[in-house]
């Protein structure tokens, strides 16, 4: 089956290793399979659900685009665009918002986490964020959506919204419930400081993450300081539940080197931790530094990046306009 792939990344600056290993690396693999049609979106409408500075937002939209290209996405093979350039996303979100139920949205753990203790002060946008995400996906009849593990619940909601629309408007199969594509192993890259919380741009400590634009010395330092424990490297896959930091570093090594975790354990089991950290640092420098360098180079050519987005938006708009017109007709407009 030919897959239609759609995914999005928020332009909130400082893309990190979690974004790369959990999402963008897979985008590239999917794009390079000729049977797939891929659409990758810089979801700028999603990013304003929390306050943004307008100049920084513009810079971050370009930076995320640069990170896509630097990681291997190709605007000739994939449609790359920013969400706000295609009005159908917002229109679709309104219509889908009217079939979504408050109860469904209230169960979303990402909202609970992001809104924190004082939910009354969270923006309405943050609450209905998953409806906009459903609109993104359903407008293109996407069959598969590559995301990190944290987005699984939003995709389940997207399927529910599609089915409710089809049911309410008696239009069977009009909206296509998509399948998530989530890595089986290490779908969630954890913080370098705490193996129980995910690597995130919002962590106040920069030493909790490797940013794609970190310089060599900083990467060396961050891995040196990454939390581990006093025990030697484990020899088997079992009983690592109480050593989440160690498991996370082994996972990062395995994905970056495209090898099975058991092979990584066999290579390093029983050996000194510092040897493993040295090799992990080397691997990170080998894989991440070239991406960071390319991002910085691309950012010097704003016109080039804007052109990629404009051309992509034109192609996306053609597809999305057609679907939204059909949707409006079904609704009765």
Catalytic residue positions?
A: 114, 198, 201
Residue 82 binds ligand TRP (CB under 6 A): no
* Structure-token pair, residue 291: 């991406």
Binding residues with ligand TRP: total (CB under 6 A): 13
Out of ligand AMP, ligand TRP, none, what residue 292 binds, judged by CB under 5 to 8 A for its kind, is none
Binding partner at 198 among ligand AMP, ligand TRP, none, C-beta below 5 to 8 Å by kind: ligand AMP
**64 CB neighbour count, 10 Å cutoff:** 28
CA–CA gap between residue 242 and residue 228 (Å, rounded): 11
Nearest CB to ligand TRP, comparing residues 8 and 246: 8
Looking at the Cβ atoms of 159 and 165, the one nearer to ligand AMP is: 159
148 lies in the site for ligand AMP, by CB under 6 A: yes
Give the interface size with ligand AMP as a residue count (CB under 6 A).
14
Q: Is position 7 an interface residue for ligand TRP (rule: CB under 6 A)?
A: yes
φ and ψ of 40, to 5 deg: -120, 130
Minimal distance, residue 64 CB to ligand AMP, in Å: 8
Query: Residues 265, 237: contact at Cβ < 8 Å?
Result: yes
Position 23 contacts ligand AMP (CB under 6 A): yes
Answer yes or no whether residue 295 interacts with ligand AMP by CB under 6 A: no
Residue 136 binds which entry of ligand AMP, ligand TRP, none, CB below 5-8 Å type-dependent: ligand TRP
Contact 212, 13 (CB under 8 A): no
Residue (62 or 277) nearer to ligand TRP, CB: 62
Min. distance of Cβ 8 from ligand TRP in angstroms?
A: 3
Q: Which residue is listed with tokens 């690592």?
A: 240
Shortest separation between residue 227's beta carbon and ligand TRP, angstroms: 25
Mask: binding to ligand AMP, 169-208, rule CB under 6 A, as x and -?
-------------------xx--------xx---------
Q: Which option in ligand AMP, ligand TRP, none does residue 189 bind, with CB closer than 5 to 8 A by kind?
A: ligand AMP
Residues 133-172 vs ligand TRP: string with x where CB under 6 A? x--xx-------x-x---x--x------------------
> Of 74, 141, 150, 203, which one interacts with ligand AMP (CB under 6 A)?
150
- The CA distance from 84 to 207, in Å, is 33
Burial class (CB in 10 A: 0-12, 13-18, 19+), 2: exposed
Binding window for ligand AMP (CB under 6 A); candidates: 18-26, 161-169, 210-218, 256-264: 18-26
Q: Which residues bind ligand TRP (CB under 6 A)?
A: 6-8, 10, 43, 46, 133, 136-137, 145, 147, 151, 154
Q: Which residues bind ligand AMP (CB under 6 A)?
A: 9-10, 18-19, 22-23, 147-148, 150-151, 188-189, 198-199
């Amino acid at each position: 089956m030919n897959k239609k792939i759609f995914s999005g990344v928020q332009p909130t600056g400082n893309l990190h290793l979690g974004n790369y290993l959990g999402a963008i690396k897979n985008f590239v693999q999917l794009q390079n399979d000729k049977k797939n049609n891929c659409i990758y979106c810089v979801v700028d409408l999603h990013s304003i659900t929390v306050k943004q500075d307008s100049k920084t937002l513009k810079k971050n939209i370009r930076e995320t685009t640069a990170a896509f290209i630097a990681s291997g996405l190709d605007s000739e093979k994939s449609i790359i665009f920013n969400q706000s350039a295609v009005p159908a996303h917002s229109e679709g979100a309104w219509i889908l918002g009217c079939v979504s139920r408050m109860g469904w949205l209230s169960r979303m753990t990402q909202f609970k986490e992001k809104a924190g203790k004082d939910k009354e002060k969270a923006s309405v946008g943050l609450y209905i964020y998953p409806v906009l995400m459903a609109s993104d996906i359903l407008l293109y009849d996407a069959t598969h959506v590559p995301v990190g593990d944290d987005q699984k619940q939003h995709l389940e909601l997207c399927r529910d919204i599609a089915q409710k629309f089809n049911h309410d408007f008696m239009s069977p199969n009009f909206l296509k419930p998509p399948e998530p594509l989530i890595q089986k192993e290490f779908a969630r890259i954890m913080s370098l400081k705490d193996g129980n919380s995910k690597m995130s741009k919002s962590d106040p400590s920069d030493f909790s993450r490797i940013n794609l634009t970190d310089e060599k010395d900083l990467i060396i330092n961050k891995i040196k300081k990454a939390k581990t424990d006093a025990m030697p490297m484990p020899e088997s896959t079992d009983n690592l539940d109480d050593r989440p930091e160690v498991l996370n570093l082994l996972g990062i090594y395995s994905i970056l080197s495209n090898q099975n975790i058991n092979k990584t354990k066999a290579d390093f089991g029983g050996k000194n931790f510092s040897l493993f950290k040295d090799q992990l640092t080397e691997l990170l420098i080998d894989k991440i530094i070239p991406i960071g360098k390319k991002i910085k180079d691309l950012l010097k050519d704003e016109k080039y990046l804007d052109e990629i987005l404009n051309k992509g938006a034109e192609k996306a708009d053609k597809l999305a306009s057609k679907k939204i017109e059909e949707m409006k007709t079904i609704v009765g407009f």
